[in-house]
Structure 1
Amino acid sequence: MRKPFIAGNWKMNLTLDMAQELTDKIAAENIDFNRVGVALIPSYTNLYPVYKILKSTGTEIRLGSQNVHFEKNGAYTGEVSVEMLKSVGCTFALLGHSERRNILGETDELINKKLHSCIDQGLDAIVCVGETLNEREAHIHKEQTVSQVGKALKGIEKKFLNNIIIAYEPVWAIGTGKTAGKEDAEEIHSAVRDFIKSKYGEEAASEIKIIYGGSVKPENIKELINMENIDGALVGGASLKFESFSKIIQNCTI
């Protein structure tokens, strides 16, 4: 049985005071971590302050970064390394979010290099994949998403799949208020799991977490995670408000 996993991606939002206030409230929640995993993904400037709150409260909430560079160090102005992230309490990095693919031009090859860097240096990863509206309307959404998974995992050994979560986020549903229907989301999650099975075997496919992102709200999280192959959510806007994010977490344990 795969335990649901809920990660709040704060994107380029929240000042220091706002991030600390929100973290204080979330960390004080009585979360049943035996039934749900929870993570926060703040901006770089808020990583260490959020980590200090999480550490001081003894919560099992994990901390992640919104990105990472593939080199260990060097003359890469504006970038952050795996070791830097680990030093401020991060246990994973978010890779290949559609906003970085489509706005900042990140390629499948670059995402693969970042994933290898994370795995080699002991940092877990959430790898984001998903189709555009044009690709869905052309009925190649399943093939496109599975292709992204394959390219991201190129050269990754089976033993490291436990350090990776796949996040399916249809680009047309991110921040738009539109959500893929539970059957539509399940179709893609099932296809991704079938790909993992074909590449790594049935055991690996049954264990890897595949979560959904794209306008996730308290009202739709339950029906999503009740689907056989949906193991949680990468939450955007709803994670910026304590009430909605807390309710999403609660609805995963009811």
Structure 2
Amino acid sequence: MLAVLNFKNLVDFEQQKQFLADLSQATVDVDLKIAPTLPVPNTYDNFEVVSQNLTIKQRTVGEISPSVLQSLGITTSFIGHLERRKSLNEGLLIVRKRLENALENNITPILSVGQYSNIDMVVEELGILLKDEPITKPIIIAYESLASTEMGRALYSIDEIRDIHDAIRKFMKTNYPEISYQLILGGHMDEAGSPIANAIGYDGVLIGDRYHTLAAFQPVLDVLNKLSR
């Protein structure tokens, strides 16, 4: 099982680094990826450091380039995280440009969808992002209930996240059978939601910044470890 833990800008960076240090001493059986707000060297043995963002190919200021990630040993990056897209008004065209840059530089994308909870619109959003992109290596698709993330509680039903799961699987099988991908679920995921996502058929979960210390995260980690054994 895959788990992606994504810190946000309001979490103190020293606290994030302490979390990583503590986690490096913990038992981690799940395929765990951690995205601090600023990339740090990917040198840990029991989890992978990933990036929260990747720039477009054109010259920009203040964004993270593939060469920065490569120098840190980072090979995975979020592309168009939903909260970035909403707060910074990033349209799908910009996200497509980020995806293109990732693919050209062997960066595995974590491609976020779910800006709108309507099933048809989720599939349409995914189709726009993948259209005409030459994808020959594995990718990660993250469906996130944006409202649940923003409100801090699960606002979706089991039927809803099952229907989303089935729709995305059907779309990928019909239109992109050649793409190897993992599908993960986000939106207030915890030790209760993770087994539900696993039972539905998601390959993993996306977890936000509710857990600032290993002690707080440990109950979730224990469940994730059990699901992965």
Query: What TM-score does the superposition give when structure 2 sets the normalisation length?
Result: 0.90
Which residue pairs with 2:49 in the alignment? Answer: 63
Counterpart check, 1:29 vs 2:26? yes
Q: How many Å apart are 1:242 and its aligned residue?
A: 1.6
Which residue pairs with 2:187 in the alignment? Answer: 214
Counterpart check, 1:155 vs 2:132? yes
Pair 252,183 (structure 1): closer, same or farther in 2 beyond 3 Å: farther
Q: How many Å apart are 1:154 and its aligned residue?
A: 1.8
1:84-123 equivalences under 5 Å are 84-123=68-107
Contact 1:11 1:66 in 2 (8 A): no
SS of the residue 1:218 aligns to: coil
SS of the residue 1:248 aligns to: helix
Which residue pairs with 2:148 in the alignment? Answer: 173
Which residue pairs with 1:240 in the alignment? Answer: 212
SS of the residue 2:106 aligns to: coil
SS of the residue 1:175 aligns to: helix
Paired amino acid for 1:40: I
Counterpart check, 1:41 vs 2:27? no
Which residue pairs with 1:251 in the alignment? Answer: 223
Q: How many Å apart are 1:252 and its aligned residue?
A: 2.4
SS of the residue 2:150 aligns to: coil
Q: How many Å apart are 1:85 and its aligned residue?
A: 1.6
| 1:17-51 superposed Cα distances (whole Å, 9 cap, x missing partner) | 2122111111111112xxx210110112xx22xx3
CA distance in 2, matches of 1:189, 1:169: 11
SS of the residue 2:122 aligns to: helix
Contact 2:188 2:208 in 1 (8 A): yes
Which residue pairs with 2:3 in the alignment? Answer: 6
| 1:113-143 superposed Cα distances (whole Å, 9 cap, x missing partner) | 11111010111110111044xxx4xxxx111
Q: 1:144 aligns with which of 121, 124, 131?
A: 121
| 1:154-202 superposed Cα distances (whole Å, 9 cap, x missing partner) | 2223523x1x10000122111312222333112112111111111122x
Q: Counting helix residues as a fraction of each chain, which structure ranks higher?
A: 1
Seq. identity, %: 24
Counterpart check, 1:80 vs 2:52? no
Q: 1:191 aligns with which of 164, 167, 177?
A: 167
Paired amino acid for 1:154: K
CA distance in 2, matches of 1:199, 1:144: 16
Contact 2:15 2:212 in 1 (8 A): no
Stretches of structure 1 lacking an aligned partner (at least 5 in a row): none
CA distance in 1, matches of 2:98, 2:66: 9
Q: CA RMSD, aligned part only?
A: 1.9
| 1:85-131 superposed Cα distances (whole Å, 9 cap, x missing partner) | 22123211111112111111111111111111101011111011104
Paired amino acid for 1:21: Q
| 1:57-103 superposed Cα distances (whole Å, 9 cap, x missing partner) | x514111111111116x3x2212211112212321111111211111
CA distance in 2, matches of 1:178, 1:115: 30
Contact 1:69 1:80 in 2 (8 A): yes
